[in-house]
Amino acid sequence: MYTRDRAPIGSPCWVDLWTSDVDGSRRFYAELFGWEAQEPSPEFGGYFMFTRDGAPVAGAMGDMGDMAANNTWKLYLGTDDIAKTLEAAEANGAHVTSPAMAVADLGTQAVLIDPTGAQLGAWQPGTFPGFTVLNAPGAPGWFELHTRNYAAAVDFYRSVFRWDTNAVGDTDEFRYTTMRDPDGQGELAGIMDAAGFLPEGAGSHWSVYWEVNDVDETVGKAQALGGSVLMGAADTPYGRLATVTDPAGAQFKLRAPK
């Protein structure tokens, strides 16, 4: 388990779920991960948090007026100056879909599409830093971008979110770059060249890996709760991994460390 007061600049700091089935999602994730679903906030359009052992792990909300939820998880990267980050993002080929907006005194958020087509959020913290526990059961364990335009993605996150990167692999079979933790605590996220295996019609996208003690058991539990399996449990050099969806179709990954 890794705890922190605040995410390093440019690193993943929060994730939230936009779901078409709020009640079903509250039950599913509570039973799957042992999360507690907090009460929706009318002030923030019904947005609510999931916590585990009292620590916030994720947010969620349903349809927003006439905008129907698309059943996806969205990753947020931290920034110390959201206006400059959005300016740099647009200068480097991104499209800002939701401009910077203050969320009470909690912080300021924005949503953008990177130059490779992947959606993400930016978060400048106020009183709310995002998640503070990682690499523990039920908490985030890793974050990863699958993209068809690997070089453009690496350049973008270096330039806009100030990533210090490390090329883990650079062959046609495995091309992967990670973000080094500026505090010296290892690596915080990865970018994979997925041009050779993304299904037809699938675009670049960020994924969150939730840490669990037993991937196979959790996959079985997800299915019993109405979820689906997209990629069954398999051993990798980075632990045992699987990809599943919740009953509404939101995709996420599971990881049990080696």
Q: Is the dihedral of CA 16, 11, 194, 140 positive or negative?
A: negative
Question: At CA 13, angle to CA 216 and CA 122, rounded to 5?
Answer: 125
CB-side neighbour CA atoms (13 Å) of 229: 16
Number of domains in the chain: 1
pLDDT of residue 138: 97
pLDDT of residue 79: 98
Residue 174 sits in a domain whose CATH number is 3.10.180.10
The residue written with tokens 């912080």 in the block is 107
pLDDT of residue 117: 97
pTM (2 d.p.): 0.97
pLDDT of residue 128: 98
pLDDT of residue 141: 95
pLDDT of residue 109: 98
Q: Which long-range contacts (CB under 8 A, 24 or more apart) does 132-136 make?
A: 132/3, 132/4, 132/5, 132/6, 132/55, 132/56, 133/1, 133/2, 133/3, 133/52, 133/55, 133/57, 134/1, 134/2, 134/3, 134/4, 134/211, 135/1, 135/2, 135/211, 135/257, 136/1, 136/2, 136/211
pLDDT of residue 72: 97
Residue-by-residue pLDDT tens, the chain, 258 positions? 889 999 999 999 999 999 999 999 999 999 999 999 999 999 999 999 999 999 999 999 999 988 999 999 999 999 999 999 999 999 999 999 999 999 999 999 999 999 999 999 999 999 999 999 999 999 999 999 999 999 999 999 999 999 999 999 999 889 999 999 988 878 999 999 999 988 888 899 999 999 999 999 999 999 999 999 999 999 999 999 999 999 999 999 999 998
Token pair for 205: 């996208």
Beta-strand pair 187-193/140-147: parallel
N-to-C CA span, the chain: 14
Report the alpha-carbon distance of residue 212 to residue 215 in Å, rounded.
6
Q: What are the residue ranges of helices labelled H in 38-197?
A: 82-91, 150-161
Domain boundaries, position 240: 1-258
Report the alpha-carbon distance of residue 248 to residue 175 in Å, rounded.
32
